[in-house]
Amino acid sequence: MLLGKKIIVVLPAYNAGKTIAQTIAEIPFDLVDEYVVVDDASTDNTIEVASSLHVKNLIRHDRNKGYGGNQKTCYNTALDLGGDIVIMLHPDYQYTPKLIPSMAYMIASGLYPVVIASRILGKGALKGGMPLYKYISNRFLTWVQNLLINQKLSEYHSGYRAFSREVLEKVNYQANSDDFVFDNQMLAQIFYSGFEIAEITCPTKYFEEASSINLKRSVKYGLGVLKTSLGYFLQKKGVISLPMYTSK
């Protein structure tokens, strides 16, 4: 625990057999109380590797529910386990677990209810191997989103996030997509609910085993991001009423 808060790390896994052991090995268990692995019907040996590590909270989907669907299971499970601070860490080792203490402390101390590990703060994104087209897309989408949502995040697309229990209990993430745009929808919900989001610099690591969506999926994601931001803008203006912005 940290300042009396129970910390749970959730790992939404899909074909992470080559990297999940290394990721879990670096989780600071002197601070983290429990961790949850949700295998989204991987086609590799992810479930076997996780089982060999004697993961206490190991869940396997019978069918692939998608990245967003995986996170829904992760957060539901973390709340059921009594988590006060829930940190999502990808098991592909693209994000370092060494940031967990810093992210957790910002929430446990009451400074912020949400923390994002940003790959864009600083100058390490391209140096760390982020493809140029992804970097340019990230910057463009973030610029548009900041305009429509009226915020100043360095990026909306990092998959390394920490949430307070209050946030997860309030935002209606069950109404979100089961695809990759889930992450973006959740940030829009958080801002709509009046919560602030902090950012912390995160080293960027791209390598063969790290998960990454292809160009076609990237385009679909980008369009979903623009739709989410425009929907937020129109919701705030009272032009439309979207189910995702209703409380649980």
Strands 114-118 and 57-60: unpaired
Q: Give the up-direction half-sphere exposure of residue 230: CA atoms within 13 A in the CB hemisphere.
A: 6
Check whether 64 has a pLDDT greater than 80: yes
Mean pLDDT over each residue of the chain, to the nearest integer: 94
CATH number, domain containing residue 180: 3.90.550.10
How much of the chain, in percent, has pLDDT values that exceed 70?
Answer: 97
Residue 1: inside a domain: no
Instruction: Tell me which of 130 and 156 has the higher pLDDT.
Output: 156
Which pLDDT does position 207 carry in this prediction? 66
Question: Residues 59, 140: contact at Cβ < 8 Å?
Answer: no
Average pLDDT, stretch 195-202? Answer: 96
Q: Residue 79 has which token pair?
A: 């709340």
Q: What mean pLDDT comes out for the span 125-154?
A: 92
% of the chain beyond a pLDDT of 90: 85
Q: Quickly tell me which residue has 């087209």 as its tokens.
A: 133
Lowest mean pLDDT segment, chosen from 10-24, 201-215, 221-235: 201-215
Average the pLDDT over 56-74 and give the result: 97
Q: Is residue 149 part of a domain?
A: yes
C-alpha closest to that of 162 among 97, 68, 73, 213: 97
Residue 195 CA to residue 186 CA, distance in Å, equals: 12
Question: For residue 2, is it within any domain?
Answer: no
Q: Give, rounded to a whole angstrom, the gap between the first and last alpha carbons of the chain.
A: 27
Q: What is the pLDDT of residue 12?
A: 98
The number of residues in the chain equals 248
Q: Give me the number of domains the chain comprises.
A: 1
Model confidence at 208: pLDDT above 80: no
Range of the domain at 115: 7-245
pLDDT of residue 210: 59
Is the pLDDT score of 230 beyond 70?
yes
